[in-house]
Structure formats: structure tokens, C-alpha cells
Amino acid sequence: MARKITQQNNFFYTTLALIALLLSASLVKEMPDGVLEFIIEAFTTVTFIVCIFSLRFDNAWYRFMATLLGGWMVAIIVRNVTDIEMMDNIILILMFLFYGGTFRSIARQILFTGQVDANKVIGSIALFLLMGLMWAIIYILIVALSPHAFNGVEAAPWREMMSQFAYFSFVTLTTLGYGDISPATPFAQVIVYMEAIAGVFYMAIVVASLVSAGLAQTQDNQGN
């Protein structure tokens, strides 16, 4: 029997949905034409729905996220029916806003607040995954405007580039820097090193948050 999503386990579901989305994107090259769009869009829709249910306890953001989901689904339908290429950029922007809203809502619930538990630790992983996905979307939008902005990646529909840029984004976020994909224009270079800086600061902020909350929790227990 499936467990109900609660405030004690909601980030487990969000993180699993994000991981499933990344895995589905990695199967792009293995899928025949026509199936790719369905797979990516289906997994993205499921991820959005899981995020909304997981964050429904944050009323301020719940309605905003639901509105974005509705707009995203309308944009997908319009893109598939009319084949207007500009809709791809609108779809990506809506995805970025959704992930950004999810990031903000989770951060409000786990950073420097309450007691440290497994759900919060998993929530910090979800934040990291969301950061990587948001930057991946930015890179895809950059390629849409400047097809030669990156070495090692050929301009293509966003569904085909998602896996490559998600890979590049997380490699940059963790400052590994393998070098198989690299920025070729000054603007792309700025965005890339900004992500590397954000990754370093994220680690510091999360560690500081968990340590601070843990110390406060220990002091409360000792006081009692």
C-alpha cells in the first residue's frame, strides 16, 4: 500500500521524482523518433504533479505552482498541435519558473528551521537537483539564442539536449569540470562560472544550516 505524502516524508517523493526525470532524459538516444517527446513530457508532468502534492503544505506557493503546471501543459499541447518552434522557449521558461518556485518553497521549509531529520536531509538533495536542472534549462535557452555557445553540444530540440546539459550542469555545480563540454562564448562562460560559485556556496549554506539546526536541537534536548 502506497504511503501517503506528509510533511514528514514529502521530500523523499520530490527527490525520487527528480531522479526519475533525470534518468528518463538519459534514455533519449535509445528511444525511437516520436517516443522521445512522449517520454520526456510524461516524466516532466509526473515530476511537476509530485512536486505540487509534496509542497501543498506551503499554501503561498501551492497555487502558484499549480498555475504554472496548467500553463506548461497548455504550452505543450499548443506546441504539439501547431508545431510553433517558439513555444519550446516558453515551455523551458515555464519549467525554469516551476523548478525555481519548488526550490524556494523547499528552502523555506528546511534551511535554518526546525529539527534536523531524514526528510530535511533528503530535501537538501532535492534542492541540489533543482539547482542543476535550472542551470541546465538556462544553458538550453542560451543555445536556442546562440547555437555555437558551447563546444561539444550540437543545437537540437530541448528534449534532445536536456540530458547533455543536465550532465554538464551537475559537473559544473560540483566543480568537477571534465572538459568534454565547454562554453565557447563570453556570456556562456559567465553563466558557467556563476553556477560553479553557486554550487560552492550551496554546500556551505546547507552544512551551516544543518549544523545550526542540529546544535539548537541538542541544546533543547539538554535543556529539557
Decide: helix, strand or coil at residue 7: coil
pTM value > 0.85: yes
Query: How far apart are the two ends of the chain, measured CA to CA in Å?
Result: 38
CB distance 212 to 221 below 8 Å: no
pLDDT tens across 49-69, in order? 998 888 887 777 788 888 899
The H-or-E segment that residue 115 falls in is none
pLDDT tens across 23-35, in order? 888 876 666 666 6
- Residues ≥6 apart with Cβ < 8 Å to 92: 137, 140, 141, 144, 158
pLDDT tens across 76-98, in order? 889 888 878 889 999 999 999 99
Over residues 129-151, mean pLDDT: 96
pLDDT at 123 exceeding the cut of 50? yes
Decide: helix, strand or coil at residue 222: helix
- Residues ≥6 apart with Cβ < 8 Å to 34: none
CA–CA dist 90, 159 (Å, integer): 14
Instruction: Please report which confidence band the pLDDT of residue 219 belongs to, taking 50, 70 and 90 as the band edges.
Output: low
Instruction: Determine the pLDDT at residue 43.
Output: 87
- Residues ≥6 apart with Cβ < 8 Å to 202: 127, 128, 131, 173
Residue among 224, 75, 50, 64 nearest 126 (CA): 50
Distance of CA 94 to the CA centre of its chain: 12
Over residues 174-188, mean pLDDT: 92
